Chains A and B, each alone.
Chain A
Amino acid sequence: MEFIDFLLEDFFVTGQPLIYGAMVSIVLVSIAIVFVLSYFKKWGWLWREWLTTVDHKKIGIMYIIAALAMLFRGGVDALLMRTQLTLPGMEFLDSQHYNEIFTTHGTIMIIFMAMPFLIGLMNYIVPLQIGARDVAFPFLNALSFWSFAFGAMIFNLSFVIGGSPDAGWTSYTPMAGATLNPGPAQNYYLIGLQVSGIGTLATGINFIVTILKMRAPGMKMMRLPIFTWSTFITSIIIVFAFPILTVALALMTIDRIFGSHFFTLTGEGMPMMWANLFWLWGHPEVYIVILPAFGIFSEIISTFARKQLFGYKAMVYSMVVIAGLSFVVWVHHFFTMGAGGAVNSFFSITTMLIAVPTGVKIFNWLGTMYKGRIRFDTPMLWSLAFIPCFVIGGVTGVMLAMAAADYQYHNTYFLVAHFHYVLIAGTVFGCFAGLTYWYPKMFGHKMNEKLGKISFWFFVIGFNVCFFPMYFLGFAGMPRRTYTIEPEWMALNVTASIGAILMAIGFAVFVYNIYYSFRYSQRETHGDTWDGRALEWATTTPVPFYNFATVPKIEGPEAYWRMKENGRTTYEKEKVEPIHMPSDSGVPFVMMAFMFIASFGLIWEWIGIAIAGLIGVLACMVIRSFDYDDGFYVSVEEIKQTEKKAREGEQ
């Protein structure tokens, strides 16, 4: 009986019709998935082709699918919040529920949507752009993905089991500490982020080594496609920023579970230190999700303006400068903490300085279009919409950087408007642009242009209608994270909600487009869909698992553009040699499944289960250490057959 009481009162989240609905749909979807897989006898296929794969392309696709699912969840959260703020009197959500929703919205969008989406694109594209057959450490790459996937699962589990975290995605202490916030909810946040953070760090190392060591012969650093450059810089930021998050999360976990006093009110702990550590990681994190988007836009604008990128070197150096500055601006997130004139002045100025390299990039994109011949395909539309929207986000960012004025903007909808203008116009547009741009390479057919444009216009107009009014809400004194509003903020909130609905329609059309294109789009017969310039377009579509039959020698920037001029391909029959490829492995999946068990134990403070899970993780590491599997060779004959089949349509 006691056990059942526990299940009903503490374990499962009860009392919310919305959550019951979610539970039912989770159960139904799970049953449906199990049924479909069993009915079509696809379990073996799932295990062999996906769960154990170390192929960067498949891992990239899994990242993107997971990110889209998370975008859906975060988007539903956003719609629920907009509904509540439009009908504040209706008690659609109570304060507690609203708090949980904005917390999960923020966390999911940053950690489980933006980053995996971009990492998915990097995974698929970067090895192709540099002429490599995989990333440097394919096993580690699989491990990264599964750590993200299980981390996301842990975090999302809180929704139905134990309760969602409700301390905001920033989780400021002491509010998020054990005393003021008891129970497993906040632990889900800490452990979920920790587990997926491990994977992100590994991804960072992986890409640095890949880009440094696996480039095609002749591809000097200054000949790298700009998206690869942005990945490289992003990876550096990841490697040097994520350990800070790891430590911060660990410290709060130890505080909550083992009774230490880092961020507590008792024992002379220092709650502000959490904010400090969080933003030491958090600010570089912003650039982790924005630089790859910059890279995507650069590729697309250059391709569709049919011109070389304007100021390639300046583009690279500006990213380097942004990466450096990103580590010395974090205090602007808490100017109002009262650290005094010197601190606030210093961080005001460093923050504003970031506008300079960013401005350089904006003008270089405009320069790329100058004397170009611009086509307006969907990827280009997303990239073009990015420029004005991001400029609005950027200049308001400069306004926020002015500490004295920030005292009035801080914690208001002005801030909310700013970072959505930056993160949606930058990251989300970037993801959509990148996905539609590389979609034919990934799946062998384009996304439907007409639907793509419909979705684009709905989303972009909706985005502006939703977030532009929020600047004014900030001036009108509306604080963020409030579940109810004053009457004088009503009109603007209703406007914003209309915008949110338009965005939702845009997203729905986007997802429908995936289905529609799968059914009806014309299959690609040619690897070079958009008349591209970088090496990923040199392979056939679909890309063979070894990527390149022969790796071309690179003679300058824009490798593929040159190859087309010289009539060369990545298949030079006489030069084909056996290709060495890594073997698939189930260890990453199993290891992270054990990690999942360990995490679940830790979240509920069931230390026995946590230790058992941890032993499983360690055992997997030992197994891996003794694994001397050296991969396999693809025979010349197989390569020739594959290439012949793939290239039939081309001639």
Chain B
Amino acid sequence: MKNIYLRVKLWAALPALSLLLLVSGCGELTVLDPKGPVGESQKDLIIFSIILMLIIVAVVFIAFTYMIVKYRDRPGRDEKDYDPDHHGNTTLEIVWTVIPLIIVTALSIPTVITIYELEEAPEASSDKEPLVVYATTADWKWFFSYPEENIETVNYLHIPTDRAIEFRLSSADSMASLWIPALGGQKYNMAGMENTLYLQADEEGTYEGRNSNYNGSGFAEHTFEVHAENEEDFESWVEKVKNTAPELTQEEYDSLLAPGLEEELEFSSTHLDYVDHGTNEGRDYLIERHKDAFEEPLHLKGGRGAGDE
């Protein structure tokens, strides 16, 4: 038992050590370095909770170390220090019930405020109408429809900066979750229902977006890129798509829905003309057309038509 001190120290050093390893080992912690107001308010909440939690952890760890060091069975310990009949202390027990209650309250208030905040478009850009984007998933690709611009993209997304984006989330088949960690938290895409998610980018750049809710063999590739650019660039991109991209025919759309992976595509019309998977009528649209496609195991390699073999 003589090197218990050393062991305890080693023990306490472990988290710190791995922290060091982390900072050197990994580039950036996307969630803690958000590029928009939604992610920003979530980050603030996270940092606030981390600080409170670190205090709790510190208190417990110090008390823990004190106990196992001071009260270990060692030769020559003061006999008076050992009190086998000591079995409780009401004051102390009340203290360590009330303090956690206070901490929980302290955490609840900002949590509830933020929850309600995130249900609305970010205040930072309240002067502008949010840009509506229908984000629909089908195994394992993303369709982004811009109803006002009447364009649609597959597996990538252009958004203007400093303007709220109102995502209307739905799915053509399995449940997915739209997540762009750099911009803010996620919400589920589900067939037959529609979720609304507000996000906003303040900085121009390209961000990773993905489905974070496991949905089968193509899950890892179920990703997309978000290009955030200033209003002008965005407008000119919209114009370019309108002028150069083909129309999305229903036939084309139906074949895109088949399970499999897909490359980046763009169209000068949206699938909302044919079906809205977020409605009760649209919920089994894909199943009716591609039921049999799920019978055979898919060997996904990426790119168009890969799922068809």
Hey, which bits of chain A sit against chain B, CB under 8 A? 95-96, 99, 166-168, 172-175, 179-182, 265-266, 268, 271-272, 305-314, 334, 336-338, 340-341, 344-345, 348-349, 352-353, 355-356, 359-360, 362-364, 366-367, 369-376, 384, 387-388, 391-392, 395-396, 398-399, 402-408, 410-412, 461, 464-465, 468-469, 472, 474-477, 479-484, 486, 488-489, 491-492, 495
Contacts and interface: CB of A to CB of B under 8 A. Distances in A.
B81 A371 contact: yes
B67 to A, nearest CB: 4
A169 to B, nearest CB: 11
A248 to B, nearest CB: 16
Chain A, interface SS category: helix
A366 B93 contact: no
B306 interface: no
Interface string B51-83: 001001100110110011001110001000111
B104 A352 contact: yes
Interface of B: 1, 4, 11, 14-15, 18, 21-22, 25-32, 39, 41-42, 45-46, 49-50, 53, 56-57, 60-61, 63-64, 67-68, 71-73, 77, 81-89, 92-93, 96-97, 100-101, 103-104, 107-108, 111-112, 114-119, 139, 169, 173-175, 177, 179, 181-182, 184-188, 190-193, 195-197, 208, 210, 212-220, 280, 283-284, 286-288, 291, 294-295, 297, 300
A399 B46 contact: yes
Contacts of B188: 334, 336-338
A209 B45 CA distance: 46
B18 A465 contact: yes
A181 to B, nearest CB: 7
**B18, B64, B83: most-surrounded residue (chain A CB, <10 A):** B18
A370 B116 CA distance: 44
A252 to B, nearest CB: 15
Contact of A356 (B32, B104, B114, B186): B104
| The 7 A-B residue pairs with the shortest CB-CB distance in the complex, in nearest-first order | A407-B185, A491-B25, A404-B114, A475-B29, A338-B195, A395-B53, A477-B181
A42 B287 CA distance: 56
Contact of B219 (A95, A313, A495): A95
Contacts of B186: 336, 407-408, 410-411
Contacts of A355: 100, 103-104
6 contacts: A99-B219, A172-B213, A307-B83, A374-B73, A479-B212, A492-B26
A596 to B, nearest CB: 28
B82 A311 contact: no
B175 A405 contact: no
Contacts of B21: 469, 491, 495
A19 to B, nearest CB: 14
A388 B30 contact: no
**A175, A314, A341, A360: most-surrounded residue (chain B CB, <10 A):** A175
Contacts of A483: 220
**B61, B73, B208: most-surrounded residue (chain A CB, <10 A):** B73
A412 B212 contact: yes
B111 A405 contact: yes
Contacts of B218: 95
A388 B104 contact: no
B145 to A, nearest CB: 19
Contacts of B97: 356, 359-360
**A167, A410, A479: most-surrounded residue (chain B CB, <10 A):** A479
**A166, A376, A405: most-surrounded residue (chain B CB, <10 A):** A405
A484 B221 CA distance: 9
A410 B192 contact: no
A364 B93 contact: yes
A314 B93 contact: yes
B87 A475 contact: no
